[in-house]
Amino acid sequence: MRFIVIFAFMPMDRLVIPAPGIRVGFWKITESPETLAQMYNGGAEYNTIQAMVPSRQVHALSGRLLGQHFYPEHSISKDENGKPFLVDHNDHISWSHSGNYAAFISSESMPVGIDIEMVSNRIRRIEDKFCNETDKNNIHISYHTESLLLIWAAKESMYKVYGKKEVDFKKDMTVDSFEVHHRGRFQARFHKGKASEQFVMEYEFFDGHVAVWTLGTTEKSK
C-alpha cells in the first residue's frame, strides 16, 4: 500500500512509502547555500562542496541533508564510481536533484535508484541520444515531453542501481510501454552484456517536476 506523509518541517516536505521497506523523500529547496551549509553536519566532501558554484552547492547540500534526515546516526560516502552508500549500515540509498527540488530513496533489502527532472521541452534536443526504437514507439504524441522525461529518468534510475560507468543509455536500457498520468508504474529493462534485469518503476509528476524511482526487479539473470 502506498502512503504519503506531509511534513511541516525541514529538511523534508513529503515522504512517500511506495512499498514495504522503501522510503522516498522530497524537499522543495528555498534556503540559500549559506543556510544549507549551516544545517549540514559537515563531512569529508564539505571542502569540495564549498568550491562549487552556488547552484551546485544547493543541490549537493540538499541531497546530503535529506540523507541525514533519513539516517541521522550514519554518514554517507561514495564509492569509486560515485555511488552514494551508508557507512556502517546495510540499507541501500540513492539521491537526485533538479530545479528547486531534492529527492532521496532508501531500501532495506535491495539496491535502488531515483531521478528527478524539471518538466522542460529541452529534453527533446537529446531524444536521439538516449531513445532506441522501442522507446520511441512508446512515446505518447500528446505528451511527447512528458514521455521523454519518463524514459530518461527511468534510465537514470537504472543506471544508479547498476552503479558503474560505461553504460550506453540508448543501447543498454529499454523502457516498456507506459501511460502518462499524474502518477503510475511501468517496467523497464537493463540489458548490458550478460546482465539482464527487468525493473518495476514508479513515477510522479508534481510542481513542474517529475520523479522516477525503482521498486525492485521482476527477473534477474547473470
CATH number of the structural domain 117-221: 3.90.470
Output the pLDDT for position 211.
Answer: 98
- The whole-angstrom separation of Cα 154 and Cα 197 is 13
- The whole-angstrom separation of Cα 109 and Cα 120 is 34
The answer to whether residues 34 and 50 touch, using CB atoms and an 8 Å cutoff, is no
Domain 3-112 listed as CATH 2.40.128.720: no
Cβ neighbours, 10 Å, residue 32:
12
Query: Hunting for cell 563531512 — which residue is that?
Result: 43
Q: Per the structure block, which three cell numbers stand in for 120?
A: 522542460
27-71 pLDDT tens trace: 999 998 888 888 887 666 677 777 788 888 889 889 889 998 999
Output the pLDDT for position 11.
Answer: 65
Mean pLDDT (whole number) for 86-97: 96
HEC sequence for 109-143 = CCCCCEEEEECCHHHHHHHHHHCCHHHHHCCCHHH
For residue 220, pLDDT over 80 is answered with no
